[in-house]
């Protein structure tokens, strides 16, 4: 079988040339095909199904759940659909996260069923499992046929592991509360050897964050602590599934991630990245710009290139050079992540030691405080002038892989000034260096996030 390349983070098209809409997806193997089910938010659709023999070329099968499937779906949000096959009933069962289409307050799961893998699924009902809130979710079927539903409960504070009834249509019991209070979502589970692995993200909406994993010898038993996996933004993705490729030479494991675009959902893409295991209980994830997968042998090859570009994130806003123009100055501002926006791409130049300059990669301009002013609250602008001390920033380590940037000339630090009113831009100013430990939610902290593409 010819082995083609998976180009990560690009918009993937099906064999008809249409963009694949299968976000927050799950997979099922049947008769030599990988079936991929995922969210489709285009007009009237909810869950679409594609299939492939080589994981590169995807054939559209059906919009398996639409707004017409059931009155309860006519306005609903249906997220993270996962399908598994029940040997006892001979039916395919889908679980997903159900919301009212307005906000995320319902926190319910929904169950659908079908006699064929890619037929029109019938909606059974939505509910809160054993009365608990239920948002991001996944399904996992164990070797003995027992299936589990894992979902974020208690306002996403905890992850619950539920055992399903024999027909997979209901919850039998709440088996386990994982990492109480640690606010994890986007769970994906795989079994490798004697251990179960779970990958999960933190809770930052559509913006990416540090992925973590844990392992356990028993899905309902004790799980390890959570360990970091991938980059601080999990290569700008959020987990959704782990594919197992059982080949003649080896068994490979693929991390399937959504690269959400918070500025334009329809620009969201996917990544397939090889997972590696140094020991029976340790897992790691590296960036690959593209991979080849030989589904016959199970062998994978990855290629990776450095972009040399960075995004600077402060309190979930990204430094943007598009600028707010006023009196000849271009103010840098904080925008929502946009995967396509060149104005969010920066080059970080090391001047010496811990001193850097930050250059917008398109215009070549540098960020600096307006008018070289040492006043607190002065806005940050883009300047085309070269070699100003005021363009130099000292990198000071802060919590959770973040840094604070202190201007060498003024002694003040970069700060995100949130807009006071809706519709106004979040601006960047200089302010006294805070003594807070900093971190993802801190307006004085910067995440220097490498751009992976």
Q: What does the block give as tokens for 335?
A: 């925008």
Task: Select the residue whose beta carbon is closest to ligand DGJ and give its number.
Answer: 205
- DSSP 8-class letter at 103: -
Nearer to ligand DGJ, 273 or 316 (CB): 316
206 is a site residue for ligand DGJ (CB under 6 A): yes
d(CA 266, CA 377): 37
Angle, CA of 200, 153 and 339, to the nearest 5°: 45
Site for ligand DGJ in 160-189 (CB under 6 A): 185-186
Site for ligand DGJ in 126-145 (CB under 6 A): 136
Nearer to ligand DGJ, 193 or 205 (CB): 205
Burial class (CB in 10 A: 0-12, 13-18, 19+), 75: exposed
Nearer to ligand DGJ, 184 or 360 (CB): 184
Nearer to ligand DGJ, 204 or 406 (CB): 204
Q: Smallest distance from the beta carbon of 361 to ligand DGJ, in angstroms?
A: 29
Q: Which of 44, 101, 193, 205 binds ligand DGJ (CB under 6 A)?
A: 205
Nearer to ligand DGJ, 50 or 260 (CB): 260
Q: Which of 12, 66, 79, 345 binds ligand DGJ (CB under 6 A)?
A: 79
Site string for ligand DGJ, 292-331 (x = CB under 6 A): ----------------------------------------
d(CA 349, CA 291): 30
Neighbour count for residue 225 (Cβ, 10 Å): 9
d(CA 325, CA 120): 52
Site for ligand DGJ in 236-255 (CB under 6 A): 238
341 is a site residue for ligand DGJ (CB under 6 A): no
Q: Which of 9, 24, 202, 323 binds ligand DGJ (CB under 6 A)?
A: 24
Q: With the C-alpha atoms ordered 316, 319, 325, 327, is the resulting torsion angle positive or negative? A: positive
Site size toward ligand DGJ (CB under 6 A) is 9
What radius of gyration, in Å, describes the C-alpha atoms of the chain?
23
Which of 120, 187, 45 lies closest to 20, judged by CA?
A: 45
**Distance separating the N- and C-terminal Cα atoms of the chain:** 27
Q: Smallest distance from the beta carbon of 35 to ligand DGJ, in angstroms?
A: 20
Beta strands in 207-281 (DSSP E): 211-216, 227-229, 238-246, 251-259, 269-279
Task: Tell me which residues touch ligand DGJ (CB under 6 A).
Answer: 24, 79-80, 136, 185-186, 205-206, 238
């Amino acid at each position: 079988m010819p082995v083609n390349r998976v180009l990560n983070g690009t918009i993937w098209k099906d064999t008809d040339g249409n963009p694949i809409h299968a976000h927050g997806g799950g997979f099922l193997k049947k008769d030599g095909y990988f079936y991929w089910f995922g969210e489709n938010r285009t007009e009237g659709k909810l869950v679409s199904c594609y299939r492939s023999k080589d994981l590169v070329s995807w054939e559209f099968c059906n919009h398996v759940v639409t707004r017409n499937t059931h009155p309860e779906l006519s306005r609903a949000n249906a997220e993270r659909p996962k399908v598994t096959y029940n040997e006892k009933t001979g039916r395919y069962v889908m679980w997903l996260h159900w919301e009212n289409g307005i906000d995320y307050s319902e926190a319910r799961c929904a169950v659908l069923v079908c006699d064929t893998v890619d037929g029109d699924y019938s909606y059974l009902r939505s509910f809160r499992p054993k009365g608990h809130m239920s948002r991001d979710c996944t399904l996992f079927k164990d070797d003995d046929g027992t299936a589990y539903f894992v979902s974020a409960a208690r306002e996403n504070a905890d992850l619950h592991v539920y055992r399903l009834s024999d027909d997979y249509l209901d919850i039998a019991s709440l088996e386990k509360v994982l990492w109480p209070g640690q606010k994890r979502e986007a769970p994906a589970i795989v079994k490798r050897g004697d251990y179960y692995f779970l990958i999960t993200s933190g809770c930052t909406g559509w913006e990416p964050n540090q992925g973590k994993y844990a392992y356990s010898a028993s899905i309902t038993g004790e799980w390890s602590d959570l360990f970091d996996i991938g980059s601080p933004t999990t290569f700008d993705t959020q987990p959704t599934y782990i594919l197992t490729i059982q080949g003649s030479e080896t068994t490979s494991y693929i991390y399937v991630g959504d690269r959400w675009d918070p500025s334009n959902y329809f620009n969201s893409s996917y990544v397939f990245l090889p997972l590696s295991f140094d020991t029976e209980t340790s897992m790691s994830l590296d960036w690959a710009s593209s991979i080849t997968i030989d589904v016959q042998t199970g062998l994978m090859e990855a290629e990776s290139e450095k972009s040399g570009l960075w995004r600077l994130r402060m309190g979930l806003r990204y430094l943007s050079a598009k600028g707010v123009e006023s009196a000849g100055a271009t103010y840098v501002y904080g925008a929502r992540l946009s995967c396509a926006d060149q104005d969010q791409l920066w080059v970080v130049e090391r001047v010496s030691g811990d001193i850097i300059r930050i250059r917008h990669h398109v215009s070549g301009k540098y960020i600096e405080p307006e008018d070289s002013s040492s006043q607190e609250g002065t806005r940050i602008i883009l300047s085309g002038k070269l070699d100003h001390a005021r363009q130099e920033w000292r990198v000071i380590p802060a919590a959770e892989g973040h840094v604070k940037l202190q201007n060498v000339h003024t002694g003040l630090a970069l700060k995100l000034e949130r807009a006071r009113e809706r519709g106004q831009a979040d601006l960047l100013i200089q302010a006294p260096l805070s003594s807070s430990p900093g971190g993802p939610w801190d307006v004085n902290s910067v995440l220097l996030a490498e751009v992976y593409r």
